[in-house]
Amino acid sequence: MNFEHLIQINDLQNPLVETLTRDQLWQGLLHRVEDATPFLPGLESCTIVERHADHLLRKLDFGAAVIHDRVTLHELHWVRFDILPGEQHAGGSLTISIEEPEPAVLFLRFAYTTTFAANPNSEERAYIDYIKSAYHQSDVDCVRVIRTLATSSTQQ
């Protein structure tokens, strides 16, 4: 099953929301690639296992579960996290894309591909709705962490 959503980063009509540049947004996404611990509650460690020209492999240690993923980047445009199938996870992917429909109007699109059935029964539907909600909240938190990182880097 696939699902996605957008989170608005800059609201030029709202002066209370700090405007981020595309580069600040990208740097935040790179931080998530290099050290996902501030972005994923329960993650105990994030280790880069291999670096290649076009991707890297990571080990994510959640204590009770260890997940391996492959991260592919297209600079200043998108990051894709492919969870490698294993004993503890069936696999899936997340692509986070930077969208800019107008200058300085930035959004992040979070697009998920999961192993859930496309047409689940009613019992599975409730679980899937819960998962979607949890992913959305995680993505809102991701943006909050990126904003915090951007603010702290401008104050240094």
**pLDDT 10s digits, 5-40:** 999 999 888 888 889 999 999 999 999 999 999 999
How high is the pLDDT of residue 118?
61
How high is the pLDDT of residue 120?
61
How high is the pLDDT of residue 154?
66
Averaged pLDDT score across all residues of the chain: 91
**pLDDT 10s digits, 34-93:** 999 999 999 999 999 999 988 999 999 999 899 999 999 999 999 999 999 888 778 899
**Dihedral sign (CA 110, 115, 118, 119):** negative
DSSP codes of every residue in the chain: -EEEEEEE---TT-TTSPP--HHHHHHHHHHHHH--TTTSTT--EEEEEEE-SSEEEEEEE-SS-EEEEEEEEETTTEEEEEEPP-SS---EEEEEEEEEEETTEEEEEEEEE-SS-SS--HHHHHHHHHHHHHHHHHHHHHHHHHHHHHHHHH--
Answer whether residue 99 shows pLDDT above 70. yes
How high is the pLDDT of residue 117?
64
How high is the pLDDT of residue 16?
86
How high is the pLDDT of residue 119?
64
Location of structure tokens 């296992």: 49
How high is the pLDDT of residue 155?
61
